[in-house]
Structure 1
């Protein structure tokens, strides 16, 4: 866990003082570990009880071992999760958390606690609630049952109903400082070159989950592919087409952002290696890359198109002897 210190302190302060707010909005970029934080809070509550005695504890303390084993097995009866479900006979998830799911949860709230002193509802993410489901949840937040805690994960809190936000105490998960991220990744993956760690940190925007995903993208290999396009001109478009496939689609957005982030460094490297007369064309291609990215953000952000166009920019920087005849 990284970047959760302030959120942990705020939660524990409320629990220790016996004034724990009934609904907490965990707000911040996707990949900050908000869902993992919610799971830790849920485990803490069902293993530590009522609170309010000023006891000095940490969120990771084990607490009641029997309740802890139920949590680890995913069988604790008082931790309820609301999330998008798999479609019938499909491996795809539904677009929304439905009104039926919320109604089922509400019916559970009318039952007495079967174990311990807390019931915890985790909604991950509340952004996924369909309209009727959001309205149903709002009514419950307005008149919450005793000893029930709601943990509402949100990647886009500004899009939520203002009435839902107003019923919650907000914990904001901010992007982590670059130096802290660099030290964390270096400790986590000591075999990575420091230059690769810094590239990943820069591309992650301070979001730990995104940084971990980028490690699997293999920064060094990606740099070699981009430099190969710049060195050969990719006369048969094979390298550019492969690049476009690698960064296209929603699932590859992190890899596309990595490419966008490391291109400036590669262009700077080429500028150092080339003659003075070749610096102006390199700067022109950098401007072209920037325009491509800006246009994509304004439009549909087609990763395949952006990847191929970045490849075109690099291909145009190949030495004349390597470029195909026009």
Structure 2
């Protein structure tokens, strides 16, 4: 996986706690999806099971090499003291289950009653704790209240405000914040030097400072889609040709990723248009933003008709075109 950015403060806090012998038994890794929280949790788990108890005051990087035999087990996904709770794949299908079940949590709790078979730490990684069933969350809470010795919990959360307050109160929180524009730009240039400046600018704007989203956008033709959307806003699309093409391009379940790309791009485009317009013409741009937001919310509540969403987004952009370019509109 490509290296993420924005983990420096979290890494320092975790390693310093380990080195000082003050490693809290539960850590809540909180922040937007796509910030690399699960990747950080995996790094932290590997570090613990390959480096021993800590407490000697000497800090080392989170990716420092530790016990070679334990490293090989981690790399193979077979280390016995790293337990992961995540949504399972449904029977004979590719879709994930809706939740992490109470049975999964009970299975984890049974493992906690066993003695450590290798090393000084057992690590429980929950990705994401937001996905726990209510009964599972309550069972986890009881374990957090009376944690076994030398057991550490890493709880990934995309929406920490929705968790039980009692779970949050049992954890030390590490917050993963979206990266600044300049940092994202430099990171993308280093990561993908073949991207031109226009593509990087579009990806940074659409990603909102979330590295995982930026990585997904790299594989999409962001610049081409941005060009199509701006063409609608510039011309007003008097014959509906551009809007109909957009709707076809993002409609249907097979084009869901392209629709999400459009939804990601539009806020940055509207912001760009607002900056370019005279003060007296900014209000319609803001109204267009509100309209797009309502369209997306209504679509999510309903059937998520990509064709309808695409055409309506096109309508919002078309209405922002200068009147001289909109024919009789």
Judge same fold: TM > 0.5, yes or no. Answer: yes
5+ residue gaps, structure 2, are none
Q: Rate the CA distance shift 1:158–1:18 in 2: closer, same or farther, 3 A.
A: same
The separation in 2 between residues aligned to 1:107 and 1:147, in whole angstroms, is 16
Partner SS state of residue 227, structure 2: helix
CA contact (8 A) 1:27 1:157 kept: yes
Which residue among 20, 23, 29 is the counterpart of 2:23? 20
Q: 3-state DSSP class of the match of 1:26? A: strand
Distance 1:139 1:322, change over 3 A: closer
Report the aligned-residue RMSD: 2.9
Q: Does 1:260 align with 2:262?
A: no
* TM-score, length of structure 1 as denominator length: 0.87
Name the count of aligned residue pairs: 317
- Residue 135 of structure 2 corresponds to residue 132 of structure 1: yes
From 158, 169, 178, the counterpart of 2:161: 158
Contact 1:234 1:240 in 2 (8 A): no
Match of 1:206?
209
Q: Deviations over 1:265-300 (max 9, x none)?
A: 36877x7xxxx9xx98x8676355223124236645
Which of 82, 89, 94 aligns to 1:91? It is: 94
**Is 2:103 the partner of 1:118?**
no
Cα deviation, residue 181, structure 1: 1.0
Deviation at 1:55, TM superposition (A): 2.0
Asked if the contact 2:273/2:285 (under 8 Å) is kept, the reply is no
Matches within 5 A, 1:150-299: 150-229=153-232, 230-231=234-235, 233-236=238-241, 238-245=244-251, 249=256, 252-265=259-272, 286-296=285-295, 299=298
Alpha-carbon contact 1:285-1:313 (below 8 Å) kept: no
CA shift for structure 1 position 135: 0.6
Instruction: Give the secondary-structure state (helix, strand or coil) at the position aligned to 1:8.
Output: helix
Secondary structure of the 1:24 match is strand
The 1:287/1:51 distance shift into structure 2, 3 A limit, reads closer
CA contact (8 A) 1:214 1:255 kept: no
Structure 1 distance, partners of 2:274, 2:55, is 58
Q: Is the contact made by 1:253 and 1:303 (CA closer than 8 Å) also made in structure 2?
A: no
Maintained 8 Å contact 1:48/1:64: yes
Give the SS at the match of 2:199.
helix
Please, which runs of 5 or more residues in structure 1 have no aligned partner? Answer: none
Report the secondary structure of 1:120's partner residue: strand
Deviates more, 1:153-162 or 1:189-198: 189-198
User: Aligned ranges for residues 62-101 of structure 1 at < 5 Å?
Assistant: 62-101=65-104
Contact 2:82 2:125 (8 Å CA) reproduced = yes
Separation (CA, whole Å) in 2 of partners of 1:294 and 1:238: 20
Deviation at 1:252, TM superposition (A): 4.5
Distance 2:59 2:220 in 1: 42
